[in-house]
Amino acid sequence: MQRYFVPRDNWRDDRVIITGEDAKHILRVMRMQDGDQIICSDNGGRTSLCEIVELGGNIVEVQVVKDVETQAEMPVFVTIAQGLPKGDKLEYIVQKGTELGAVSFFPFAADRSVVKWDEKKAVKKQERLEKIAKEAAEQSHRSRVPEIQKPGSFSDLLKMAEQYNIKIVAFEEEAKQRESSRFASVLNSASREDSILCVIGPEGGISEKEAISLREHGFVLCGLGPRILRTETAPLYMLSAISYHFELKG
């Protein structure tokens, strides 16, 4: 069944008003009618089966039939701090990372980032990433849309890291040296509700200087297996492994 995230403000008890893109999608793309059903989430924990009671112009009004339990969120809160990669890789990381359960994305300008975040295009770019995250969250049946944070510097990353009790860095050099136990050890030391910060470098990985500084700030440098992963593959590996560890391994 089609799912939509509707801002909390558009909920009045058991009535939900849908406007904008989502209303257009319901009316023009799905061609829905009175009585058709959809799932609405308020991005704050409430997810409800709803029935269309009124549509007109670009507004759709739905009535909650019943609240539904959805537990599609990870038991730990994973933020992906991604060194700015080339091209549209960031969009790809946000889409796949949302499917795989990340709650937040923080792009940062790393030593080896060749692209710079264009301040002129920053707002448009952020909106685009937020749209990708919303759609991926709807498609993967999540009850929460991940946050896209404003891109920052390496020192912004260090500041932000203070809020996290578990801090991991994917470090290629460790992989080359066959480091293979730290990632699992860290996950074993974590408990439900923990906030985990995963740092991934851009193409070429994080620099030696960044690695030293991150270690000094309490990050654990981890290898992700013997194969060298691309910058856009490493976050997916980390999220999949974290899901397997906490959601499947039991």
Q: Between residue 63 and residue 122, which ones bind a second copy under the rule CB under 8 A? A: 71-73, 96, 99-101
Binding a second copy (rule: CB under 8 A), the pick from 181, 209, 212, 218 is: 181
Of the ranges 8-16, 42-50, 82-90, 229-237, which one interacts with a second copy (CB under 8 A)? Answer: 229-237
Residue 243 binds a second copy (CB under 8 A)? yes
The residue behind tokens 């293979």 is: 180
Separation CA 151–CA 144 (nearest Å) = 21
Site for a second copy in 126-165 (CB under 8 A): 139-142
**Least distance to a second copy, CB of residue 137, Å:** 9
CB-wise, 34 or 248, nearer to a second copy?
A: 248
Closest CA to 73 of 99, 49, 101: 101
245 binds a second copy (CB under 8 A): yes
Sheet with 220-222: list strands edge to edge.
147-148, 104-108, 77-83, 195-200, 166-170, 220-222
Size of the site for a second copy (CB under 8 A): 36
* Nearest residue to 82 via CA among 192, 235, 184: 235
CA–CA gap between residue 85 and residue 73 (Å, rounded): 27
**Tokens standing for 189?**
């030391």
Which positions lie near a second copy, rule CB under 8 A?
Answer: 71-73, 96, 99-101, 139-142, 178, 180-181, 183-184, 223-230, 233, 236-237, 240-241, 243-245, 247-250
